Amino acid sequence: MKDNPDRHTMFDGLLEESVKTHGHLCPGQVLGVRMSLLGLELIGITDPRGKDRKKLIAFVEIDRCGTDAVQTVTGCSLGKRSLKFVDHGKMAATFVNLETGKAVRIVAKEESRSRAKNYFPEIEDKYRCQLEAYKVMHDEELFQWNEVTVEIPEEDMPGRPLRRVQCEKCGEYVQDRRDVTVDGRLLCKACAQGGYYIVP
């Protein structure tokens, strides 16, 4: 697929926005913006932060720089329940058009790191070299992508909570069917399976 010139005209402004959100410019920001623009184009979303905002869900697979770029470009967020974090530690994201069901998963190619030097051999700092190269490399050099099927449970969709129950052990409330039943008792996951925190 040839790179879309419309994406290139939007790129600089979106990268600048993303840098403001993230706090600094880095290769991950460039990759995240490029990945998002490609994903949106492939699933037919043209105005993700406007008229198409309720048609889009993005899944991100890493909690690093590129994820802030995905959020900036798509307008998806955890608070809107349109950004989903799947902790796989991969520079990858899946973009889903809720209206059509079309979804594409995009992964950054590892070899793009070493190929960056072919574009800017005069830049000795490898991170700066990658940053500049990622701006101009073709999509096919940077990414691998596939159409995928994503089944999103009703309780994971944006909108009002489907259910709100009280944990029978700690008394805290649990939304969106995140409760579990253990020996006939409704519990939050922390009480049932252990939490990430310890109460002294």
Band of residue 3 on the pLDDT scale cut at 50, 70, 90: low
4 pLDDT above the threshold of 90: no
Model confidence over 42-81: pLDDT tens digits? 999 999 999 999 999 999 999 999 999 999 999 999 999 9
pLDDT value, residue 9: 75
Q: How far apart are CA 32 and CA 181, in angstroms?
A: 39
pLDDT value, residue 200: 87
The pTM assigned to this predicted structure is: 0.92
Q: Which domains does the chain have, with CATH numbers?
A: 5-153 (3.30.1330.130), 160-193 (3.30.60)
Q: How far apart are CA 4 and CA 63, in angstroms?
A: 28
117 phi and psi angles, rounded to 5 deg:
-65, -25
Residues facing residue 93 across a β-bridge = 60, 106
- What sign does the dihedral 140-85-95-21 (CA atoms) show? negative
H helices of 137-188, where? 139-142
Model confidence over 22-44: pLDDT tens digits? 999 999 999 999 999 999 999 99
Model confidence over 138-160: pLDDT tens digits? 999 999 999 999 999 999 999 99
1 pLDDT above the threshold of 50: no
CA distances in angstroms from 128 to 33, 34, 43, 135, 136, listed in the order given: 17, 17, 31, 11, 13
